[in-house]
Every structure is written in structure tokens, then in C-alpha cells.
Amino acid sequence: MSEADPKDMTPPVAWDGIARSYMPPAKLAIDPSLKLFDARSANVDPITFEVVRNALISANFEHGALLEKLCTSPVLLFGRDFQTSLLSADGELACMGPNLQYFGNSAARTAQWTLERRSANPGIRPGDMFFSNDAYVGSPHQNDCVLLAPVFVGDELFAWVSNIIHHMDVGGAVPKQNSGAREVWQEAPLFPSFRLVEDRVPREDLLAMFIRQSRLPLMVEADMRAAIAACEATRGKIEALVERYSASTVGAVLAGALDAGERMFRARLETIPDGCWSHRVYTEAAVPGDRNAYCYQINLTKRGGRLVVDNRGTDPQAGAISLTFGPFSGAVFAALTSQLAADLSGVNGGVYRCVEFDLEPGLLSSPNHPAPISYTGAAPVGACIYAAVIAVGKMISCSRDPEVRALALGPTIPHFYTNGLEFDRPGGGLELFSSLDGMFGSLGAMPHRDGVAAGGHSWIPESVAPNIENYEHQSPLLFLYRRHLDAGAEGAGRTRGGVGVEQAFVPYGVTHGRAPSHMNESFPKSQGQWGGNPGSRSFFRIHRKTGIEGRLAQGQVPERSDEIGGEVTPLAYKGPSEPLGPDDVIEWATPTTAGWGDPLSRDVAMVEADVARGHLLPEVAKRVFGVVFAPDGKTDPDATATLRRAMRAERMGREPSRDLAALDAQYDGLVVGDALVLRQGRWACRCGEDLGAAHDNYKHTAVMAEAPVQQLASEFVSDDPEMADLMVLRQFLCPGCGVRIDTELVRAGDPVLHDVRIEES
């Protein structure tokens, strides 16, 4: 072989935390002056192992509880926008807490970057703590600040204690996240890892440097000192545990717990045939005023007990909707651990060992510096968690083990919906409000049960939204109502998604304000699984000229949207900042999640129960689920069967030639999702209709019905029809029985996604 021409050689991609996100090499380049403790040779009896393992988990949980007690920010007190972690000496995640799961990989990446870049100069010593908010190193975005405390045994680095907390404001051109940034320099400053604490004493000069950036310096300082104190207290607990049981015992338990998690995860993966599963999700408006839709795609390739994750199919980086490797990988791990490793109690590092990332640089989920990243927490990371949850759910649906198949979770909501308001204090100064009601979330439909209304997030186990009284105590706001959304076509399926929450509130005691941060969606983002309907849109509306002050004075309190009145100001999805006055009513909602399976396959008894409980109107049940109610309020089985067949015929464009198959029937082959069967190297519907060779995309054999998503049902009609018509809903129907096998909520013109590829029959 001739020697390659140097001019033809493409330089390797540098995932260094500077030009691009940091991705650690197979072997960390640590300065030899830093010695790492190794306890893998120690043997520990089972009882001691469990005692120490639970002590480590408890120490990490107590770390989070202490943060909640010490911090002052409402984002931390009520939103639990933080994470605590215990890492091995080389930065491998050992334990994480029940808060934001996608934060877990950020601590590990930051610790590993610190080991490679700081072990020589200034060095890593007992009593140190390191600080970073650099998203290209590992932090999710600038507001999410990583604190790392090394734990030493003698002169050897034994472990790391870490917390990540979200600060309300860390500087930059605008308070909080800058949705209009086009370069990272228009955002709050990035601080790569530096030593903030020496000999257990904070460096006041560096602490002041960071606090000086904030518009809320007192709150930021209080929370920074709380983070330092909580890290120090937890480091002391690990040191005490080592003193009691010996470093070799505690170290062996750390390593053994990781090994056990790895074995369990690999065993569950082995029940799934080798193949590739993909999902894509769309967002809108890279910057305020942008009228385009953008795609994130996640692909999982499974071989034996390993997964390779890539992001091909994702759009190039644009505007302020990118996220770096720390939060992107955290999003994937949140989807994996919540579905395949929830029983590990946060000891998730063994799962991380089984996953590799093969990312294409320059895309929305792997941007090159100086892409802005401050908006990560509001939209990009939620979109990637959602896409990963769907991809992982489809992979799990292919398992040969019913117990593993049952672990699949329904779709999450695709963004973390929030809004940020500013008010001018009468005596001067600025009042900031950041809604944490995105914590209400909603749990998506699952294979064997409906989703949970306002059920939080699968990737935030301790999702809790604040009480209204907390908001009214801390901010100049008066809330009119907070209620569940009505159930309808949104989230419909064989099992339906949980409904979201809507609320209305007014400025109180202030005359001027602004809404610089809000999301008023023009199309739904959440696609259902295996044929379920999409979820609903989030909205943010301002009603002006409502006369609300006079109405409240007369005891008239609106309880629903249609009772607010006034003139609704048309708002884009993202910005620009909107003025607020004392007569304005703000209306906001977090959406209903998507459904699972064909709505026309929903058990009639479940529809009847929904109507009886007042969750669904009879006319909506007929329109969406094809269930007919008799005058006595009971369902009419014959009329229901006739209507459902007619509805399947209408969406197919012809009469079905086969009858629907029973969902609980036994099949000779691998059942995938709700309607597919894979046997003898070919796809088939449960009804027996052949759908082509296993290596082909069954969607090309199915009947495809495509139309703008607005046309699916009246509930999907948008306030911004021009933007909404960028998106179409593709229904893939069995050519025999007409069951809806799956759907795609996709940008018009994008190719059909080959989202399930199984390499064995």
C-alpha cells in the first residue's frame, strides 16, 4: 500500500472541550504525579457489601437533601433543578440522586476533563474543590454549575463528590437563557474547571469573580456557599465510611456495584435481537422570528450487550437550539436508565460502560464552538430525551422477554415548558419570575396502562411543582386557576397519554413588566408510539383589555380560558419580549403526552370508564375512539364495531379485507409493538397480512396516509397555521385490516424513517 498523501488526510475530530465538546478517550491522560486508588483486588462478604453500598447511596441522597435545606433559589427549593453524584477516582459515575437524570453524565465528563487538564497544573489535592459551568467541558449550560470535591486516602485520589445546581442568573446579555443568541459570546461566560476551594477554604477572589456576573448576586452567593457546604459535608461522610470499613472495602464495593449494574444491563440487552432503532423530533425557531422547523435524530445500534449511539439525521447547528455532549449523552442515559435500569437506585455507572457514542460534529446535538448553548435546558435537551425515550421504547418492544418488554415507558413531553417574566419594582430594581410548573409534566401512555395526568417526568423521579402560595409569596403574581387540560384527540391511543396542566395568572402590585422567555407552540412535538395520536401543544397567551382588576374586585374569578375574555395577543413560539401590565392575564399550559397504539383499538370498557368519570365527553369518545353510546349512557357494541370499521375504511380509502386480530393472541414469531409480528424473516401484521422482508422497511408496504397534522382533529388546529403546515402526520396502516401500525410526526418532505431494523428473524 502506498503512503497516503498528507494533503488528502482529514485531521481527526478533536473532542477536546474547546473546539468541540469533551469526549474522554479510552485511557485518560492523567499526570503521573496524581496517584489513583485501586481496590479491585479486595474481597468483601455479601452482608458488608450491601451495608456499604446502601451507605454510599444514602450519603448521596443526603447530599441532595442538604442542598434543599441550604439553598435559597426557588429553582432549587421547589424545582429540584440539581443533581448530586458520587464518582470513582477516574471520574466514572457511581451513584446519582433522584433529580435531573441528564445531569449525571455532566459531572463525570467534567471530572474526567479536570483529571486530564488540571492534574499537572494546578494539581488536584486533598481539600480542593473544582468549579465549572462550561458546557463544552460537561455542564448542561452556563446556569448549571458543576462542583467537584476530590476524596483522598493518604496521597491517593479515592473518589469524587459532586453537585450540579442551576442558578437563576449567571450574567450575560439577558437574564437567564438567551434564546436569541447566535454565538456563545452573547451569553453568560463559560468557566472551564478551576480550583475554587483550597485546603477546604473557598477562594474568595474567584468566588466573587463568578458572583459579580449575576443580576441576583445575593441569591447566587447563598447557593454557591450552600453547594460548597453540601459537598464538604458529603465528602466527610465518605471519609468517615472509609475510616470505618477501610479504603479497600469501600473501594471494592464501589467497583462491585458498577460491575453488577453492567451485568444486569447487558443481560437485559441480550434479550433484544441485534438491530437499529431510530427516532426524530422537531422543534421550531432557532432564534426569535425564525419560521423554520429543525430536526434532532437519535439512532441506537445494538450488538450483543453493547449499544452505539449516533446522531446522523440531525440538522446542522443553527441559532440557539444546540446542546453539547454532556447534556446530549445525559439525555440518552436518562432514557436508558429510566426504562432498563430503574431498579439500580441511581447506581447507573455500569449502564454507561455499555454505551458508545459516534457523533457527527457540527450538528444541533454536537455543535462546534462558538455555538450558543444557554437555551439547552428549555428545549434541546427535552427534545433529545423524548427522542431517546421513543427509540429505547421501540428497542425494548422487540425483546423476547415479556418482563423486559413491560419496562417500556411511554413518550415524555418533548420540551421542559417554562416561562420567564420580569417586573419593575415600584421602588426600583428588578423582580424575576421563572415558572417551575414544567415540573408537572405528564407521563405518556405505556403498553399496559394509560399515562398519568400531571405525572411529572420519567427522567426526574422527584418531579414536584411548587404550590401556588410559593409563587404568590415570592413574585408579584396572583393566580386565577390551575387545572388539568381536557381530554380529547391529543394523546389518544389504545392507551392514552396523561393530560397536562393549564393555568392563568395576573401581575399584582406592579405596573410594568415583560415576558422575555416563553413558548407558544405552533405544532405538537410529541409523536405517539406504535400508532398513538400526538400529544397537544403547549401555549403561552396574553389576554389584554380584560378589566380583570374590576372583575376581581366584584368577586368574579375566571376559572377557564373561555372566561378570561379580552383581546389575545398573537405570539410567536419564541420571543420577542412582550410588555405586561396590571390589566393583562397570562395563560400557560404544559401539554398532554402522546398515546400508545391505535385509538380505534382502545378497549371499549376503558372509554366507557373515562366518560363515566367525566374525563371524556361522549361525543369526543365517538369522534376519536369510534365508541358509540346508547341513550341509557352505556356503550352500543354493534354500533361501535360498525363505526370503527367505517373509520378504518375511511383512512385507508377502501374497505378492510381482514378482521382485526386480538391483542392477547399467541403468535409464532417475535411480536413488535402493538400490530407487528416478525417471523421467518418477514414482517406481518397481527391479522396475518404480509408486510415484506425483515431487512426492508415495513412502512413502504403499509398504506401511508399523509396530511398536515392540523387536519387530524380539531384539537390540533394551530394559532399559527402557516408554521403548523410545515408538519405532517403520516399514518402507516395495515393493507389488510386497516389498523394503524405506527405514525410519523414529520417535517413535510422529509423521507420516511426506517426506525426499526432487526437483523435476525
Q: Are residues 442 and 526 in the same domain?
A: yes
Task: Report whether 639 contacts 717 (CB < 8 A).
Answer: no
Residue among 587, 538, 589, 536 at smallest CA distance from 563: 587
Element (H, E) at 590: strand 585-590
Banded model confidence at residue 123, pLDDT cuts 50, 70, 90: very high
Task: Express each pLDDT in 411-440 by its tens digit.
Answer: 899 998 988 899 988 877 778 888 889 999
Q: Are residues 560 and 608 in the same domain?
A: no
Beta strands of 45-108 (E only): which ranges? 82-88, 93-96
Q: How far apart are the first and last CA of the chain?
A: 40
Is residue 74 included in any domain, yes or no?
A: yes
Q: Are residues 534 and 417 in the same domain?
A: yes
Q: 614-645: buried (b, 16+ CB within 10 Å) or exposed (e) per residue?
A: ebbeeebbbbbbbbbbeeeeebbeeebeebbb
Residue 445 DSSP label: P
- Kindly tell me if the per-residue pLDDT of 5 is higher than 70: no
Residue 426 buriedness (CB in 10 A; 0-12 / 13-18 / 19+): exposed
Banded model confidence at residue 623, pLDDT cuts 50, 70, 90: very high
Q: What is the mean pLDDT of residues 655-670?
A: 84
Q: Are residues 589 and 634 in the same domain?
A: no
Q: Are residues 463 and 428 in the same domain?
A: yes
- Alpha-carbon gap, residue 540 to 523, rounded angstroms: 13
Task: Express each pLDDT in 305-326 by its tens digit.
Answer: 999 999 999 999 999 999 999 9
Banded model confidence at residue 3, pLDDT cuts 50, 70, 90: very low
Q: Are residues 586 and 622 in the same domain?
A: no
Is residue 285 included in any domain, yes or no?
A: no
Can you give the pLDDT at residue 11? 60
Q: 292-307: buried (b, 16+ CB within 10 Å) or exposed (e) per residue?
A: ebbbbbbbbbbeeeeb
Can you give the pLDDT at residue 41? 67
Q: For the chain, give the mean pLDDT.
A: 93
Task: Report whether 104 contacts 93 (CB < 8 A).
Answer: yes
Q: Are residues 576 and 693 in the same domain?
A: no
- Kindly tell me if the per-residue pLDDT of 536 is higher than 50: yes
Is residue 319 included in any domain, yes or no?
A: no
Can you give the pLDDT at residue 132? 98
Q: What is the mean pLDDT of residues 291-316?
A: 97
Can you give the pLDDT at residue 429? 77
Task: Express each pLDDT in 74-96 by its tens digit.
Answer: 888 777 889 999 999 999 999 99
Helices (H), 342-412: 349-352, 380-396, 402-405
Can you give the pLDDT at residue 120? 97
- Alpha-carbon gap, residue 228 to 219, rounded angstroms: 14
Is residue 744 included in any domain, yes or no?
A: yes
Can you give the pLDDT at residue 14? 85
Q: Are residues 86 and 196 in the same domain?
A: yes
Is residue 116 included in any domain, yes or no?
A: yes
- Of the three residues 262, 282, 310, the one that is the final residue of a domain is 262
- Kindly tell me if the per-residue pLDDT of 327 is higher than 50: yes
Q: What is the mean pLDDT of residues 479-500?
A: 96
Q: Are residues 575 and 610 in the same domain?
A: no
The count of domains in the chain is: 3
Is residue 337 included in any domain, yes or no?
A: no
- Alpha-carbon gap, residue 502 to 474, rounded angstroms: 21
Can you give the pLDDT at residue 4? 45
Task: Express each pLDDT in 222-255 by its tens digit.
Answer: 999 999 999 999 999 999 999 999 999 999 999 9
Is residue 56 included in any domain, yes or no?
A: yes
Is residue 691 included in any domain, yes or no?
A: yes
Q: Are residues 571 and 713 in the same domain?
A: no
Q: Are residues 629 and 571 in the same domain?
A: no
- Indicate yes or no: pTM above 0.85: yes
- Of the three residues 598, 619, 651, the one that is the final residue of a domain is 598
Q: Are residues 589 and 614 in the same domain?
A: no
Range of the domain at 615: 599-673+675-758
- Of the three residues 583, 598, 613, the one that is the final residue of a domain is 598
